[in-house]
Chain A
Amino acid sequence: QKEVEQDPGPLSVPEGAIVSLNCTYSNSAFQYFMWYRQYSRKGPELLMYTYSSGNKEDGRFTAQVDKSSKYISLFIRDSQPSDSATYLCAMSQLTGGGNKLTFGTGTQLKVEL
């Protein structure tokens, strides 16, 4: 079993829809949770960063963490064609050494006009 599970999609939605992206994890030591957006042939871009259970909002994006269920979500409101990309969840645990991120496989999202 992978430490982080993410539905690869592809997910296709109409412009203006609310998008829900999800990841589950098995390692209860994970304390930091991130969402990255990756356009084709580009590096991942950090969208959201959180370290506690609950919701965090930034513009059209809301990140939700439920540590008791080991489940995280990213919601995108009023989706736009420019949101079409692969969305990667990532998580890490606090260590004395450093910051190793464990990623999901990514969900490919297409927002259609």
Chain B
Amino acid sequence: DAGVTQSPTHLIKTRGQHVTLRCSPISGHKSVSWYQQVLGQGPQFIFQYYEKEERGRGNFPDRFSARQFPNYSSELNVNALLLGDSALYLCASSKEPNEKLFFGSGTQLSVL
């Protein structure tokens, strides 16, 4: 079975632009979470979605938003990009919200 897949793998944007990152969970997994990992740090929780509903939100500004689709895939949107948004964005899926999380390989976002 395929693992969590994310696209694109790499992305370069300039300050002020908008970006959309995409994630497909493992087949049979209904919950998707997003994490931000800055170089040299552990991942930081951004959002969790389950059955298209937001189940949790981390300490990130309103420029960050997400949604989950009926097929359980998900998008993370970031508006008005800042240099500090440069990071590896990780998507993780689980069968149910409180079960083990399995991560994708991430999208490396560089903001210039």
Q: How many residues of B contact A (CB 8 A)?
A: 30
Q: Spot the interface stretch: A37-45, A53-61, A71-79.
A: A37-45
**A61 CB to nearest chain B CB (Å):** 16
Which of the residues B4, B42, B88, B104 comes within 8 Å of A105, measured between beta carbons? B42
Interchain Cβ contacts within 8 Å, total number: 74
CA A2 – CA B94 in complex, angstroms?
Answer: 26
CA A101 – CA B97 in complex, angstroms?
Answer: 11
Most B C-beta atoms less than 10 A away, residue of A34, A41, A90, A98? A98
Contact between chains at A98 and B48 (CB < 8 Å)? yes
Closest Cβ neighbor of A88 among chain B residues: B42
Given A97-B55, A99-B101, A106 contacting B48 (CB threshold 8 A): no
Q: Is B40 among interface residues, defined by CB-CB distance under 8 A?
A: yes
Contact between chains at B97 and A43 (CB < 8 Å)? no
B35 contact set on A, CB distance < 8 A:
101
Instruction: List residues of B whose CB falls within 8 A of some A CB.
Output: 4, 31, 33, 35, 40-45, 48, 50, 55-56, 58, 88, 90, 92, 94, 97-106, 108
Instruction: List residues of A whose CB falls within 8 A of some B CB.
Output: 4, 6, 8, 34, 36, 41-46, 49, 88, 90, 94-95, 97-106
* Apart from A97-B97, A99-B31: 8 A-B pairs, beta carbons within 8 A: A41-B108, A42-B106, A46-B101, A98-B55, A99-B48, A99-B94, A103-B42, A106-B41
